[in-house]
A and B are shown apart, each in its own frame.
Chain A
Amino acid sequence: MAKTKVKEKKVKVTWKEIKKQKFLVIGTLFLVAYGILFYYWPLTGWIMAFENYKPKSGILGSKFVGLDKFRFLFGDDVFIKAVRNTFAMGVINIVTTTFMAVLTAVLLNEVKRAWIKKPIQTISYLPHFLSWIVVTGILHDSLSASGIVNDLLLRFGFVNQAINFFAFPKYFWWIVAFAQNWKETGWNAIIYLAAITAIDPALYEAASIDGADRLQKIRYITLPGIKPTFLVLLLMNVGNVLNAGFEVQYLLGNGLVQSVSQTIDIYVLKWGISQNDYSLGTAAGLFKSLVSIALVVIANAFARKYTEERLF
């Protein structure tokens, strides 16, 4: 039954069929209209990046200036720094969160007793559900002069004086990475744990009989077992490298660390919304979108060539 179904799967587009699927077709029309309005139509706004857009004259009436806005962008030191910061924090975040998620999942899997494992897991997802406002607020308190971090550093004599962590550019990227890991490690580990559970237990039994110890089993069974999951998530994350920068940086950044905290999104917000230079904001946003798309396509091509995994 199931097999014959697959063969007759190709249904021809005929009026009769459309009538039969009336509900689905009408639903599709609504959903496509919604998608065009909120996702595809705004893409026409990219034209603004090549104009000196004035809200009064509209997209069609504004003056066309070619690549002027992009020339300004790439001549602007602040923008170049914003691109660098976005990339750097994006890469640091992906590498550290992936590492921590895999490590946590592998170690949690070693805990066989449910009454220990379950509570740890429950605690580990909790921060994922807190807002960035709450997380950065808490982090601010922990890293403040009277916070726990300085308290411990002073107590154990690592420093003589409380460090103002938010005043030095050299700490900023790592504070962001820590915040990201604090919030998402437990959550990200869920998927890896699921992948580990799917590994055939017979493999572990066979390895035990051959005298493998726990580390060897992790190295030769667990890690290869989660490789496909790892690659799919990595692929998805590559396209998101440039998206790794808005809320945390906006909330934790301050005048002293501006040179390392400002990301492309914050740049867009500052120029586009606060300064009302819609064209420049759009140009910076367009640059980000294009680079993101290029990264996804490249990552996917790599995956196609070297592994079995791909996104599309």
Chain B
Amino acid sequence: MNVDANHKVREPIRDKIFFVFTVIFLAVFVIITLYPVVNTVALSFNDGIDAVRGGIYLWPRKFSMKNYKTVLDMQNIWVGARITVLRTLIATLTSLFANAILAFIVSRKRFLFKSQLSLFWVITMYVNAGLIPIFLLYKNLGLTGTFHVYWIPGMISAFNMLVMRTYMEGIPDSLEESAQLDGAGYWTVFKDIVSPLCKPVYATVALFIAVWQWNSWFDAMLYNRMKTEYTTLQYELMKLLSSVMQQSGSAENAKNGAATITPITIRAAATVATMLPIIMLYPFLQRYFVTGLTIGSVKE
């Protein structure tokens, strides 16, 4: 603020122009980010036929809940929602635990194979077998066509490990040493000393994993295409959107009154329903990821 006080003395014209530019840039940035989302919400609450006329911006013109009713009446949506919730819960718990253990082990200063284990996992970030060998592996292991393909293969990620390792390395050794003098084993150190201190970074990584799981669709398409009982919400949304895109030529039919609901509003309703949980939880989770991300990735 001292700096600003100094500026008041003789505010150069360049500073004023710059200030105006900053305001305009940020305003446009916010509008471009928010508008499409708000518009989608408005469309989702608008009557289907009415929406064909266009011209709906921030608020529905002819309010209707029919789009949501249609979406919620789709059977697969409920199957997908159940599987998505399940995979998000299971994968977040298992993956968080596995990554935390890995990070704990490689952050122990006295550990004999510390650098080798670290390197072993960092290599996996850069060397990737590719789609086909991995597809065949999952097939041979009997993971395709099952629910387990969603949580077993991706359990450990070197990136999450690095984020947690950096955080754990910041915890003073003396805590661990004094606990060990009291006879605590490594498991106790992990459970009762390191983990409670790592809550912020655990929250961050859990958030990363949960969002990743919630948004996944490719694995459902690739490994469980034939298994409708393991479909996910995003994959159902994708099928809905792509079928609508193909049908968009027949929007004319809808206009002629054959159906009361046109694709674009249903699409909007499905989109909103899918992103709703994230948007609702988002304000509460926000404070975690900023700290976690900056700690983890600036210094590797």
Contacts and interface: CB of A to CB of B under 8 A. Distances in A.
Whether both chains belong to one complex is answered with: yes
Interface of A: 1, 5, 9, 11, 13, 17-18, 21-25, 27-28, 31-32, 34-35, 38-46, 48, 55, 103-104, 107-108, 110-112, 120, 122-127, 129-134, 136-142, 144, 146, 148, 151, 182, 185-186, 190-191, 194-195, 204-205, 208-209, 213-215, 229, 232, 239, 246-247, 251, 265, 268-269, 272-273, 278, 281-282, 285-286, 288-289, 292-293, 296, 311-312
Contacts, number: 247
Contact of B156 (A9, A23, A31, A195): A31
B26 A129 contact: no
Contact of A123 (B33, B215, B297): B33
10 contacts: A11-B111, A35-B124, A38-B137, A110-B22, A120-B30, A131-B214, A141-B36, A146-B52, A289-B129, A292-B126
Contact of B122 (A9, A213, A312): A312
A133 B237 contact: yes
Contact of A141 (B39, B105, B110, B120): B39
A111 B25 CA distance: 12
Interface in B110-140: 110-113, 117, 120-122, 124, 126-137
A273 B222 contact: yes
A293 B32 CA distance: 36
B291 to A, nearest CB: 9
A13 B283 CA distance: 49
A108 B26 contact: yes
Contact of A265 (B25, B30, B127, B131): B131
B2 interface: yes
Contacts of B217: 131, 133
B63 interface: no
B54 A151 contact: yes
A148 to B, nearest CB: 7
A282 to B, nearest CB: 5
Given A141-B40, A251-B238, A45 B128 contact: no
Interface residues of B, number: 94
- In the complex, which of the residues B7, B113, B121 has the most CB atoms of chain A within 10 Å of its own CB atom? B113
A38 B43 CA distance: 44
Given A28-B105, A126-B37, A205-B2, 6 more contacts: A18-B112, A111-B26, A112-B4, A140-B241, A148-B39, A239-B126
Contact of B112 (A11, A182, A272): A11
Given A28-B113, A32-B120, A122 B133 contact: no
Contact of B105 (A31, A190, A195, A246): A31
A48 to B, nearest CB: 7
A229 B282 CA distance: 27
Interface of B: 1-4, 6-7, 12, 14-15, 18-19, 22, 25-26, 29-30, 32-37, 39-40, 43, 52, 54-55, 57, 98, 101-102, 105, 108-113, 117, 120-122, 124, 126-137, 153, 155-156, 173-174, 185-187, 211, 214-218, 222, 234, 237-238, 241, 245, 264, 267-268, 271, 274-275, 278-279, 282-283, 286, 289-290, 293-294, 297-298, 300
B6 A209 contact: yes
Nearest to A39: B124
A112 B137 CA distance: 53
B164 to A, nearest CB: 13
Contacts of A182: 32-33
Nearest to A162: B54
Contacts of B26: 107-108, 111, 120
B237 A134 contact: yes
Nearest to A8: B110
B130 A286 contact: yes
A31 B120 CA distance: 10
Contacts of A195: 298
Contacts of A27: 101-102, 105
Contacts of A232: 298, 300
Contacts of A133: 215, 217, 234, 237-238, 241, 274
A24 B128 contact: no
A28 B185 contact: no
A42 B133 contact: yes
A201 to B, nearest CB: 8
A242 to B, nearest CB: 10
Contact of B130 (A22, A25, A122, A282): A282
